[in-house]
A and B are shown apart, each in its own frame.
Chain A
Amino acid sequence: MLYLIYASKEAAIERADEEGKELGFDYWIEDNGQGTRWLTYPNETADHMWALDVTNYDLDESEESSTVDHYTPLPDPDDD
């Protein structure tokens, strides 16, 4: 798996939106707020950054050089 790490959730979603548009997902075609919007959605990391799975994204050279192959997710706050 390849991830890009973003400082904010908004920045990560912006990149996810860009890929969703590029792939032609229904949300971006119908313009009715319905349908698949993203290929992947960011998850918060242990240090409160946002990791976006870009394994199947079309990355530019700058992005390719910035990918990481793992991240530490937030600790599980559940009680089980």
Chain B
Amino acid sequence: MHVSLDSALGRQRRLNSVGESVLQIASSAAAAYSLRSLTGGDPVVVRVRRSSNDAEQDFTSSGVSSGALVNFVNEIQTLGTVTNSSGNNGFTLTNTSSTGFTATTDTATGVCGWPYTAKAGDKITVSFDAVIRSGTPQFLPRRATALSSDNLASVVSDSPLSVNSTASYSFEFTYDDDQAGSLTFSEGDDNADFDISNFQVTVFKGAGLVETWYDQSGNSNDAVQATAGSQPKIVNAGSFLNELDFDGTDDNFELTSVLGMTSAGAIFSVAESGGGNDKLILDNRDSGVDGFRLMRFNNELQYRWQSATAATSTNPGTNTKFIAFANHDGSNASAAVNGATATTTSDTSSISVVAKPHIGARSFSSAANFWDGTINELIIYNSDQNANRSALQTNINSHYSIF
């Protein structure tokens, strides 16, 4: 059944005022997640783990937009003094420092270098000056921080790179190995005598993964993913995405606590599907039909509440952002995309869910039906928000310019 928004509301819609934040328009959110401020202040919005060394840091909305977050992810690690390989694999090494060394070998073996942790997809640019007196040394990354003659790291560009003449060098590598751990020089299968100076990592382009998406509602119902392999990306190969990218394989969050929704509720979200059919944006169920979920299914946005399904006639599409709206007012479940007229279905059931909701995956049994795409914003109410729909969507669309 299709009804117009006005007739569905049957009352005056709330209009938003210039400058009002989402939570000033409708303050009673049960949980609210975004990278922008939904409060009007400068709340902590996200906790990010960087791929390089797994360090984590919280960021406010201004820290996200100012570039502090991406700078944290791309921070260049300090190099210690160059390390010689142990045993017969080492050079005769002198003049060692954090920027260079003099290496000789007359046994056609030798490895030395600097430990530097990086992960698959990370890009590193190094520069240095070389003076080659004899031999054809090579520069190459290795997997382990403990240097040895094997354990070559896998890199996208050709490896190893010959340093066969006196010159200044600059190389960029893209790692495709999660265990890459050292920036090294070797002898190049020949006797060698050479100097390296002014060695430095000039650019590091890493990945930023979201460990916590903080709740801005004031209810401290943060969305958390403590498993590194299941954290969505916010920075990829050094580039800030300005959204959370879920891989469709295992990325998802679990909320810290239950929502407590019973007979009414509403969801506003900004998302983008990467494809597929059965993809959960938000799931709050104890079993198959016990609770509610918001999902893209059969090229529709679907809001399923117990056994009722409100499916939009508008296809949210793939690879394009959309604003999702879902609402249950106690009598009807409704759903809409991009401000269109809501599709409504009659339903008077109530819910009582004890499982913690999941963003991007199923909330009961084991996580499954993963969201393959991005989510920018997710605002959840335990109450009917038909009256605030227009004002909230106007606020959201003003920020994201979706329709």
Contacts and interface: CB of A to CB of B under 8 A. Distances in A.
Interface of A: 23-27, 34-41, 43-44, 53, 56, 73-74, 76-80
A74 B310 CA distance: 29
Nearest to A39: B228
B251 interface: no
Interface stretch (B94-102, B146-154, B265-273, B364-372): B364-372
Interface in B288-346: 288-289, 297
B366 A40 contact: no
Contacts of B54: 23-26, 36
A23 B228 CA distance: 11
B49 interface: yes
Contacts of A73: 366
Query: Chain B contact residues: over half helix, strand or loop, or mixed?
Result: loop
A41 B226 CA distance: 9
A36 B278 contact: no
B178 A56 contact: yes
B211 A26 contact: yes
A35 B231 CA distance: 11
Interface string B203-247: 000000001100000000000001111110000000000000000
A67 B47 CA distance: 34
B231 A36 contact: yes
B288 A35 contact: no
Nearest to A44: B366
A80 B287 CA distance: 12
Given A26-B55, A26-B56, A56-B179, A77 B365 contact: yes
B123 interface: no
The 9 closest A-B pairs by CB, nearest first: A79-B288, A26-B56, A37-B226, A41-B227, A38-B227, A39-B228, A36-B228, A40-B229, A77-B365
10 contacts: A26-B49, A26-B56, A35-B47, A35-B211, A37-B227, A38-B228, A76-B368, A78-B368, A80-B297, A80-B369
A74 B364 CA distance: 13
A27 B227 CA distance: 11
A77 B289 CA distance: 11
A77 B278 CA distance: 14
Given A26-B49, A78-B362, A39 B229 contact: yes
B287 A35 contact: no
B263 to A, nearest CB: 22
A39 B228 CA distance: 5
Given A35-B226, A36-B49, A39-B227, 15 more contacts: A26-B54, A26-B55, A35-B56, A35-B211, A36-B54, A36-B211, A39-B228, A41-B226, A41-B227, A56-B178, A77-B288, A77-B365, A78-B362, A78-B368, A80-B297
Interface residues of B, number: 26
Contacts of B287: 77
Contacts of B226: 27, 35-38, 41
A23 B366 CA distance: 25
Contacts of A56: 178-179
A27 to B, nearest CB: 7
A65 B226 CA distance: 28
Q: Which of B49, B212, B227 has the most CB of A within 10 A?
A: B227
A40 B227 contact: yes
Interface in B250-282: 278
B311 to A, nearest CB: 13
Contacts of A74: 365-366
Contacts of B211: 26, 35-36
Contacts of B55: 26
A73 B231 CA distance: 21
A80 B230 CA distance: 23
Contacts of A53: 229
Contacts of B212: 34
Contact of B288 (A37, A38, A43, A78): A78
A43 B365 CA distance: 10
Nearest to B179: A56
A43 B289 contact: no
Nearest to A24: B54
A39 B365 CA distance: 21
A76 B370 CA distance: 13
